[in-house]
A and B are shown apart, each in its own frame.
Chain A
Amino acid sequence: MACREYEEALRDLAAGPGGPAVGGDEAEREVRLRAHLEACADCHATFEYERQLYAAMDAALWEEVNLGVPGSLAARVHAAAETDAEQARAVFWRAPAFAALAVLSIVLAVFIGLRGRHGASPPSQTGVNAPSIARQTGAKQAGQAARAAAPAEVLGLGHSARAARVEQRKAAVREPPTLEVLVPPEERAALQQFISRVRQHEELGVAFLNSVAEKEDGPQHVAPLEFARLDVMPIEFEDED
């Protein structure tokens, strides 16, 4: 049995450098400890036991961690790296395809949305005599007539511009099987002529000329349709709301 006062110091000595700093001269302490070991048989035996324990422990630890590396490891890593690269390539090719598909879907959605929005667009008021656009898409004749006639109906009845737009959209979506158009008597002949012209030129957009209302919610008055004031021009959509 080691002397109690030297027990911990013996273990520290066996465990090697890096022990706790006790203060004082470490070298001097070690010299004192070694002198005690020479003189005390019990402490000497304990220290020997500790040394052997550490030696056996170190040897076992060395054996435990220095086992041969399996030859298959490199091959495994190569195979896994190859699989990784293949997956990366697959993702590389797949990603643009998904991106293209997504872009196409968005473009299609926007196109359809715009068609729905402007297909039966009512007269807009962007300035004096600013053209509002009723788009000719080559749809059914009834549809064309509805689009052509609707502004006259709406304007003639004096709806608000916003309410008119909502009505127009609803009408465009519903596409009524039979058409009823309310037209002031003095405009009927002109409208009839106008529709027949539009039917001949399905590829063209149609612009109605309308003056800006003083108040958006007030009744809107338009001059009777005259072909002299009908322009054929490129379609330009403007942002609404």
Chain B
Amino acid sequence: MQELTLAEELRQAERAVSADKERTLAAREFEARLEENAGLAFRVARAVLHNTADAEEVAQEAFLRAHRNAGRLRDGRSFRAWLVRITFRMALDRARAMRRRERRETDWVRSRPDVSAEDAAASGEMRRRVREALDKLPEKFRLALILTAIEGHSLEEVAEMLGVPEGTVKSRLHFGRKQLAEQLRWLAENTKKR
């Protein structure tokens, strides 16, 4: 009887140790993923939303959502690609909601505030125009441009994140850049006319 109890106690201890190990591993995995990918999620969200606070919120939600469901991924490397897609989608949704809200509000206010002096400064003005032009690009071109512009991403990495061949990324970049330039030209001409 005592032996049985002892064996049972040993089994319980083993179970507790293995559960502890699992928890530690999961925590380490979480930390590694956070360190490696949170910045990327934030930058993708920021490039869509153009607002740090909203981008932080979206990045946080997207990261947790991706992490929660990471068990379903066959390949651990695809976490990054998945996170990018979730973040991009969530950021687009939020941007649309923000635009709708803005439209409702401007129905009341009617006039938009003038561009500030800071915004009018050469580099600021260009960035503002790029932001506006970027928002008008088709989603697949926009994401390719954002991911390639984010520091340190090669064409190969972007292709892996998007799950498309490198040639496709190259082509999306080409047409995305052309459309972006077109938008900038149009914006510049319109500003001149005003």
Interface residues of A (CB under 8 A from B): 11-12, 14-19, 50, 53-54, 56-67, 69-70, 72-74, 76-78, 80-81, 84
Contact = CB atoms under 8 A, between A and B. Distances in A.
Interface string B24-42: 0000001000110011001
Interface in B130-144: 130-131, 134
B94 to A, nearest CB: 16
A61 B145 contact: yes
Interface of B: 30, 34-35, 38-39, 42-43, 46-47, 50, 52, 56, 59-61, 63-64, 67-68, 123, 126-127, 129-131, 134, 145-146, 149-151, 167, 169-175, 177-178, 180-181, 184-185
B170 A66 contact: no
19 contacts: A19-B171, A53-B181, A59-B126, A60-B126, A61-B130, A61-B180, A64-B131, A64-B134, A64-B149, A65-B149, A67-B43, A67-B52, A69-B42, A70-B56, A72-B56, A73-B60, A76-B56, A77-B38, A77-B60
Majority secondary structure, B binding face: helix
A16 B173 contact: yes
Contacts of B174: 12, 15-19
A18 B173 contact: yes
A185 B126 CA distance: 113
A11 to B, nearest CB: 6
A62 B56 CA distance: 19
A18 B149 CA distance: 16
A65 B60 contact: no
A65 B145 CA distance: 10
B66 to A, nearest CB: 11
B110 to A, nearest CB: 29
B68 A60 contact: no
B54 to A, nearest CB: 12
Contacts of B169: 18
B170 A17 contact: yes
Nearest to B128: A60
Contacts of A62: 149, 151
A240 B149 CA distance: 76
A80 B171 contact: no
Nearest to B63: A77
Given A15-B177, A76-B60, A77-B34, A58 B184 contact: no
Contacts of A78: 34
A40 to B, nearest CB: 21
Nearest to A77: B60
A74 B131 contact: no
A116 B130 CA distance: 78
Given A12-B178, A18-B175, A73-B42, 20 more contacts: A15-B175, A15-B177, A16-B173, A18-B173, A50-B181, A53-B185, A57-B126, A61-B130, A61-B145, A63-B123, A64-B127, A65-B46, A65-B149, A67-B43, A67-B46, A69-B42, A69-B43, A73-B39, A73-B60, A76-B60
